[in-house]
Structure 1
Amino acid sequence: MSLPRIQHKLTYHRGSVNSAVFDASGEYIFTGGQDKIVRLIKSSTGEQIQAFSGHGWGIQGLAVSQDSSSLASCGGTDRAVYVWDVGQAQLVRKLSGHTQHVDCVAISGNGSIIASGSFDKTVRVWDTRSSAAQAQLQVLDESKDGISSLVLTQTEIIAGSIDGCVRTYDMRTGRVLVESFGGQPVVCARVVGSGKCMLVSSMGGSIQLIDRSDGTAMAAFSGHKCTEYRIQCDASDAAVASGSEDGFVYLWDILRDSETGAASRRLEGHSGIVNTVVFHPSANVDQAKRHSMLSAASDGNVIIWE
């Protein structure tokens, strides 16, 4: 596995950048952090296209619809989810109902359904097409601790929790389909491998690649530092990447490193806690993009790697 290089280092934010995501095309990046601003950036040039202002507190989570027309953001102490019209750069809705910090958010492909996770131990599901004041569809309250991570598939809601569980819900009924116990607090859960696998990162520095069909662990990766912060990770078909509290981005080759779990690469570029790493959406299908990813850190910087 060759070493990714820094294509752009973005310095638009003041303070920690807590969340960063590609849109579905990979042409644009949305970033959010302690400066309370969501920024839209063109990934090929690093140019800022738009800034979205309105949050009263630092931004913790971002999610963008498949067509990039709708953006959901959550701002921790705001205890709310903000819904934006990307084209107009306008706040179109504020979803309130959580009683504590909101740390993560997910959005359906067409932007009609939003799920949010909070310190209040609930996942709340919202219908953005509803004209009702709150538009709340469901409250999922099985967790014994705060919700740290959310994923929406076409039929499921997948919630990682500080209580050490990853719960998969039927989106229509809200019924728990699968409840996986890992023991350590879960800080990140992502569906990878064309939906066949799940990547689960836990406090203490363990990342597991899990077969969703039977729940077995296919591989485990370690070496990064995750003891106090909600460090986000991701995987392509070939590699696993994670942020780390020591300021590095860690990379594992899935085939080569699955036996030992030791990292193949440790990338320098940040001077603070690396909060999140995300692969380019074309990493699995375009050889030119196989090493493309972004990272965001407490140093206020976002790095686009190629």
Structure 2
Amino acid sequence: MATAAPSSRLSLSSVGINTSGSEGYYKSNLDLVLKENKQLKQRLDQLEKENRGLKKAVYDLSVRHGACIEQLGRTAKPFDIDNIINPESSSSSSSLLPEILLPETVHHHVPDHHGLQKVGLTGVAGSKPKRKADSRQFYHSFDLKGHTGPVYAAQFCRLNNLLASGSFDQSVRIWDVQTQREVQCFQEHQQNVADVDWSNDGTLLLSGGFDHCVKEWDLAAGKVVHSYSELQGFIQAVRFNPADNDVFLAGSTSKNIYVLDRRVHRSGGVTMLLSGDAKMSALVVCRNGIACLSGDSHGAMKLWDLRTRACVETLFNEEGHKPITSLSTSAPPDAANEQGVHMAVNSSDNVLRVYDRFCITDHPQLRLGSLQLVHAINGTRTKNWPIKSSLFQGHDYQQAVRRRWPKQNDGHPTSGDYRPRSPELISFQDPTVHDALLLATGSADNYAYIFDVSGPSGTAELVQRLEGHGDRVCGATFHPIDPILATCSADFLVKIWTPRHVTD
């Protein structure tokens, strides 16, 4: 037992020496591992950069392939690099992609809590008989290039070939879509431009931005006429008053709607302040100028009386109260129009809703007319980005509706969600862009979508998925009169689409 203690002390001493050596060994190896980790990260960044380059090359090849096929007058599926690299895997992978541009597309309908049918975007793979090209479809005409940041807003002038676009590069650009050229570039904003709007005569343009400012541009003079900077919050929507273009409205994240008059020089031009309880993201102004409808971040649609400065009615777009990002109508609502117009609402819940009979009545009091939800279109992803949509009503739409969806069948009146009892009643002709009510929307999945919402409740039809943008499509806007569509994207491009008859 007496010899045990020295032996134990010797063992501890030895362990101490070995531990010190181990610390040095691990430290040197840690430095080596960190160095290798840094090299691997650099290599990973290089591979990701090469991968982005390859994706761009594949996209360019796809566009060229589609253009060649189109020039040859043939119908073909999009360019598939997987089919070239590994033909055996193409059959399995292709079934995962929805063929929305092809006639074999089908639409799955899922009832929602309103009793409507949500139109999905799922396609079905497999060979199908060839069908005649849909005359409601749009085809890519050209790109408008010049912006150096995401293009978030675009609007056609009603009276001419001009298109205005606002971008996160802080510029407002005017394009002539006939000559495909940039006409003017205004760079007075200090932050992102979120919305633009034309006056009735096309001589003035409004732009609202994140710099808390609304600017008024004179197209003839080519300069800013006035800058309304005494506002609060990000300006997300600007609209002229259709009844008086000296008056315009601006919706802000400060939860206010500013009513401004360009003839008033005091108080920064603000003549009225409508205070809400949520961030204002979208505006629709009544044609006679007595009221406006707002969409906000609480999912509410509020009707405001511009004479009394009061909110007279509130409707929620859906039960979850998700933010509304866009309100668009097939025509400006009119208090004298009891028939009403259609209205489309984009929301962060990834459901695109279409309302019928949107009108504003003033007798005996100001209120919304019989606003009815007729379509709930599911599948256009937003990923919480503010996506915008647009409605186009063909000049033969009203006549086509009376022929295709008669209100009486066999002498018996139908109620509400009517539809013909006989297929012969709707087979008089294939629908065209001129006798349809079309809805175009952007999405966060780099596509724009076109739906036919001409029919009764639950009959919305996916007509086309527009491909070609390299990043999320922030919005889609139709020309007010002509069947021309512009899509603006975070890829810095504005694409112009037009319908064209294509045979088999």
Specify if TM > 0.5: yes
Match of 1:181 in 2: 316
Determine helix, strand or coil for the equivalent of 1:60: strand
CA distance in 2, matches of 1:51, 1:194: 29
Asked if 1:205 is matched to 2:358, the reply is no
In the alignment, which of 473, 476, 479 is matched to residue 277 of structure 1? 476
Determine helix, strand or coil for the equivalent of 1:7: strand
Asked if 1:259 is matched to 2:393, the reply is no
Structure 1 residues 55 and 231: CA distance shift in structure 2, 3 A: same
Determine helix, strand or coil for the equivalent of 2:175: strand
Match of 1:242 in 2: 441
Note the C-alpha offset of 1:185.
Answer: 1.3
Q: Name the amino acid aligned to 1:232.
A: K
Q: Name the amino acid aligned to 2:200.
A: Q
In the alignment, which of 137, 141, 150 is matched to residue 271 of structure 2? 137
Match of 1:191 in 2: 329
Note the C-alpha offset of 1:194.
Answer: 5.9
Does structure 2 retain, via aligned residues, the 8 Å contact 1:241–1:250? yes
CA distance in 2, matches of 1:100, 1:130: 22
Note the C-alpha offset of 1:227.
Answer: 2.7
Match of 2:239 in 1: 106
Q: What stretches of structure 1 of length at least 5 have no aligned partner? A: 284-288
Match of 1:5 in 2: 139
In the alignment, which of 307, 313, 316 is matched to residue 172 of structure 1? 307
Asked if 1:293 is matched to 2:459, the reply is no
Determine helix, strand or coil for the equivalent of 1:100: coil
CA distance in 2, matches of 1:270, 1:26: 26
CA distance in 1, matches of 2:377, 2:160: 26
In the alignment, which of 76, 79, 87 is matched to residue 212 of structure 2? 79
Match of 1:149 in 2: 282
CA distance in 1, matches of 2:161, 2:475: 19
Determine helix, strand or coil for the equivalent of 2:454: helix
Summarize deviations over 1:59-79 as a string: whole Å, max 9, x none: 111111011111111111x11
CA distance in 1, matches of 2:332, 2:251: 24
CA distance in 2, matches of 1:172, 1:65: 22
Farther off after superposition, 10-19 or 166-175:
166-175
Match of 2:494 in 1: 302
Q: Radius of gyration: which is bigger?
A: 2
Match of 1:286 in 2: none
Runs of 4+ in 1 over 6 A off after TM superposition: none
Determine helix, strand or coil for the equivalent of 1:300: coil
In the alignment, which of 179, 198, 201 is matched to residue 45 of structure 1? 179
Note the C-alpha offset of 1:133.
Answer: 4.5
Note the C-alpha offset of 1:263.
Answer: 2.5
Match of 1:21 in 2: 155
Does structure 1 retain, via aligned residues, the 8 Å contact 2:176–2:182? yes
Note the C-alpha offset of 1:112.
Answer: 0.7
Does structure 1 retain, via aligned residues, the 8 Å contact 2:151–2:474? yes
Q: Greater helix percent: which structure?
A: 2
Summarize deviations over 1:240-293 as a string: whole Å, max 9, x none: 11000001011111136952656331110211111111111114xxxxx3xx21
Summarize deviations over 1:155-208 as a string: whole Å, max 9, x none: 222211011101121223222233111222111112225632221111121122
Note the C-alpha offset of 1:80.
Answer: 1.2
Q: Name the amino acid aligned to 1:162.
A: S
CA distance in 2, matches of 1:193, 1:135: 28
Asked if 1:221 is matched to 2:377, the reply is yes
Q: Greater strand percent: which structure?
A: 1
Q: What stretches of structure 2 of length at least 5 have no aligned partner? A: 1-133, 334-339, 359-368, 394-436, 499-504
Note the C-alpha offset of 1:57.
Answer: 1.1
Does structure 2 retain, via aligned residues, the 8 Å contact 1:222–1:261? no
Does structure 1 retain, via aligned residues, the 8 Å contact 2:374–2:458? no
Determine helix, strand or coil for the equivalent of 2:245: coil
Note the C-alpha offset of 1:297.
Answer: 0.4
Summarize deviations over 1:62-117 as a string: whole Å, max 9, x none: 111011111111111x1111111121111111113332211111112352111111
Does structure 2 retain, via aligned residues, the 8 Å contact 1:221–1:258? no
TM-score by length of 1: 0.91
Does structure 2 retain, via aligned residues, the 8 Å contact 1:275–1:296? yes
Does structure 1 retain, via aligned residues, the 8 Å contact 2:285–2:332? no
Note the C-alpha offset of 1:223.
Answer: 2.1
CA distance in 2, matches of 1:140, 1:42: 36
Percent identity between matched residues is: 24
Structure 1 residues 94 and 189: CA distance shift in structure 2, 3 A: same
Q: Name the amino acid aligned to 1:119.
A: T
CA distance in 2, matches of 1:48, 1:180: 41
Q: Name the amino acid aligned to 1:115.
A: L
Q: Name the amino acid aligned to 1:63.
A: D
Q: Name the amino acid aligned to 1:20.
A: A
Q: Name the amino acid aligned to 2:343.
A: M
Asked if 1:232 is matched to 2:418, the reply is no
Q: Name the amino acid aligned to 1:206.
A: V
Asked if 1:35 is matched to 2:180, the reply is no
Determine helix, strand or coil for the equivalent of 1:134: helix
Structure 1 residues 19 and 158: CA distance shift in structure 2, 3 A: same
Farther off after superposition, 248-257 or 3-12:
248-257
Does structure 2 retain, via aligned residues, the 8 Å contact 1:188–1:232? yes
Structure 1 residues 75 and 95: CA distance shift in structure 2, 3 A: same
